């Protein structure tokens, strides 16, 4: 790890483990490698300094290592540790966006007195500059009826 990623990476990886309350004894290969992989994949997270270390106060690395070991026939321990750590830390350092105003999260149009809202199928399908031609439409008529149709079944949607 020292040769491949340098002294700074090694220091933050080891400090993360030994300085987080309750994890002082979690210096196992899977624990070190899992934390290392996460630091490499999400370098900005460890840049939060003390908040990064404190996030590990609520993570029992020894318990995660036991879970990873129990599932080692399906997933190597190192990868399992990194995945479980990501699951817990992403909520803190990379939270999902809060639901906002529908005008900012979808494409709105008015056609023939009907408000049409094109919703993305997936986050990657959405473009703020125009809806995806294959995204479903939700139409709101003057009579406050809402219905959802596939874009392929609604002409001009």
pLDDT of 98 reads: 76
Total structural domains within the chain = 2
Domain boundary among 58, 93, 128: 93
Residue 124, domain extent: 102-153
85 in the same domain as 110: no
More reliable by pLDDT, 87 or 119: 87
Residue 57 has pLDDT above 70, yes or no: yes
111 in the same domain as 48: no
Give this prediction's pTM: 0.59
* Half-sphere exposure for 137 (CA within 13 Å, toward CB): 22
pLDDT of 8 reads: 87
For tokens 């959405």, the residue is: 126
111 in the same domain as 72: no
Domain boundary among 75, 93, 111: 93
126 in the same domain as 75: no
136 in the same domain as 78: no
Strand partners, 148: 138
């Amino acid at each position: 790890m020292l040769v491949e990623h340098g002294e700074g990476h090694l220091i933050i990886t080891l400090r993360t483990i030994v300085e987080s309350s309750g994890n002082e004894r979690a210096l196992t290969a899977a624990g070190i490698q899992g934390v290392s992989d996460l630091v490499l994949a999400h370098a900005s997270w460890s840049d939060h300094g003390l908040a990064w270390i404190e996030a590990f106060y609520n993570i029992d690395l020894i318990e995660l290592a036991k879970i990873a070991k129990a599932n080692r026939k399906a997933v190597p321990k190192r990868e399992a540790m990194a995945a479980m750590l990501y699951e817990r830390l992403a909520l803190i350092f990379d939270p999902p966006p809060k639901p906002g105003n529908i005008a900012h999260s979808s494409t709105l149009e008015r056609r023939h007195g009907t408000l049409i809202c094109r919703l993305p199928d997936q986050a990657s399908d959405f473009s703020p500059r125009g809806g995806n031609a294959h995204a479903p439409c939700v139409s709101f008529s003057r009579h406050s009826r809402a219905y959802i149709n596939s874009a392929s079944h609604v002409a001009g949607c």
